[in-house]
Amino acid sequence: MAKVEPKQCYVCGKEIAKRDEIGLNKKLLGRDTTRFYCIECLAAEYDVDVDFLLEKIELWKEQGCALF
């Protein structure tokens, strides 16, 4: 698995270095997004629980999504 370049959360400034979190941003915000959100801020933005987003990541991985 290729190492990802760390990003910074647009809202809280937290470093985002996990491939899954970066992939989630690209899945929800578009592959060309330049604004990244940590999973907590992304959950708040979409008004869902972090656990819901983690479940979606696993589902998309199982479906073979190349972003994860």
Note whether residue 33 is domain-resident.
yes
Burial of 41 (0-12, 13-18, 19+ CB in 10 A): middle
Is 50 inside any structural domain?
Answer: yes
pTM to 2 decimal places: 0.86
Look at residue 1 and tell me if it is in a domain.
no
Question: In the prediction, which pLDDT does 53 show?
Answer: 98
Number of domains in the chain: 1
pLDDT band for position 23 (cuts 50, 70, 90): very high
Write out the two tokens for 60: 């998309």
68 is a domain residue: no
Q: Is 64 left (phi over 0), alpha (psi -120 to 50) or beta?
A: left
Confidence of residue 3 (pLDDT cuts 50, 70, 90): low
pLDDT in tens, 33-55: 999 999 999 999 999 999 999 99
Tell me the residue range of the domain where 24 lies. Answer: 7-62
